[in-house]
Amino acid sequence: MLRFIMKKKFLITSLGISLLIAGCSSNYSHSSSAKGKLERWTTFDGKTVSLNEMGERQAKVYFYREQGSINGPAVNVFVDGDYLASILDGGYREAIVCSTGDQLLPTFTKNTGFADRDTGVDYNFVAGETAYIKIVSDQQGQPIFQRVEAAEGAAAINNLAQQTQTLPRTKPNRVCKQKVIERIVLEKFNLQASSLFKFDRSDYANMLPKGKQEIQKVGQIITSGKFNISDIKVVGYTDPMGTEAYNMALSKRRAATVKQALKSAGVNYPIMAEGLGERNLLVRDCLQKHGKNRKARMACDQPNRRVEIIIYGTKKKKEGEIK
């Protein structure tokens, strides 16, 4: 009975060693056993990864590493914080990414932990097209991405093998949301109605020369290229003298005339004109201070009679800034 048990143990041990040797016999082939089924995969493969059709606001990107282009271990590629592949010398991997808003990050493989995968750089691509990114090294020897022309990238890919030794963790079939750009007030011009129009007037023919000059200067600033402008709003205001309905109509006409003057000055951005009458008073106590003294009250109310030109858009990138 003892001899039978010893023979059985020897047979199992020999079989295990034989399987281990067989599994490690290839440089690029690996195997594992799970529930009795043999699994095999390769580090490099010439086949193209099966990718779904590009959806709206998506692009296809090839990440590749030419032989000898960078010293170091495998480069992990992260797309918007999710692991894509570990790329070795002479390898590449393709992925579907969002055309705007995705952060891309390359980092060397380490045995001490993962890199901060949320520290990548935002990249923008043309939706529906294919882009190529080459892995190179910076002055410190760390991996960085370098975008190349499509012809150069496609030629390089033909001489490389696809990385297939790891499974990507990027989200399949994800919906790419349209990037929301924050619209802010870039500049605001406050023009006094007393310098724009004759008293109680609102048409272009009755606009004062000084007013036309001021609007001309504003137009030059707007068209100088200083701002990333999306649209412009012109808002007219009056003082509280007179009826509310009359003041509302007067402020609308003045705003429309200033809009016309801006167009004449060469401003081609969308302009919306509106009148708010006696709302949003800058000085509120003229009546209490001056009562029936019309002249003093008109002088007090002068800041309320105005036309505001508000410039909306986005902040302009600084020179050298990458978005």
Domain ranges of the chain: 44-163, 184-314
| CATH number for the domain running over 184-314 | 3.30.1330.60
Coil, strand or helix at 86: strand
Q: What pLDDT does residue 21 have? A: 35
Report d(CA 145, CA 158) in Å as an integer. Answer: 19
How many other β-carbons are positioned within 10 Å of the β-carbon of residue 208?
Answer: 15
Q: What is the pLDDT of residue 171?
A: 78
**Two tokens, residue 196:** 């724009």
| pLDDT for res 6 | 45
Whether the model pTM is above 0.75: no
**Per-residue confidence in pLDDT tens, the chain, 323 aa:** 444 444 444 444 443 433 333 333 333 444 433 444 444 445 555 444 445 567 778 889 999 999 998 899 999 999 988 899 999 999 999 999 988 767 888 988 877 666 566 667 777 788 888 999 999 988 788 898 988 889 999 999 999 999 888 888 887 777 787 766 667 888 999 999 888 998 888 999 989 999 999 999 999 999 888 888 889 999 999 999 999 999 999 999 999 999 999 999 999 999 999 999 999 889 988 988 998 899 999 999 999 999 999 999 886 554 434 33
CATH of domain 44-163: 2.60.40
Separation of alpha carbons 259 and 194, rounded Å: 17
- Token pair, residue 174, equals 């994800």
Residue 62 tokens read as: 């090839």
How far lies 238's CA from each of 9, 92, 210, 251, 252, in Å?
Answer: 101, 66, 19, 6, 10
Q: Would you list the DSSP string of 31-76?
A: EEEETTEEEEEESEESSPP--PPP-TTEEEEEEEE-TTSS-SSPEE
The number of C-alpha atoms within 13 Å of 218 and in the hemisphere containing its C-beta is 24
Q: Is 161 exposed, middle or buried (0-12, 13-18, 19+ CB in 10 A)?
A: middle
The pLDDT of residue 270 is 92
At residue 34, what are phi and psi to the nearest 5 degrees? -135, 115
pLDDT at residue 52, rounded to an integer: 55
**CB environment 74-105: b (16+ within 10 A), e (fewer):** bbbbbbbeebbbbbbbbbbbbbbbbbbbbbbb
Burial class (CB in 10 A: 0-12, 13-18, 19+), 202: buried
Q: Which residues, 6 or more positions from 210, have their beta carbon under 8 angstroms from its beta carbon?
A: 195, 196
What are the backbone angles phi and psi of residue 274, rounded to the nearest 5°? Answer: -145, 155
Strands 58-65 and 306-314, by their bridges, are unpaired
- Predicted confidence at residue 49, as pLDDT, reads 44
Residue type, 132: Y
Q: So what's the pLDDT on residue 53?
A: 66
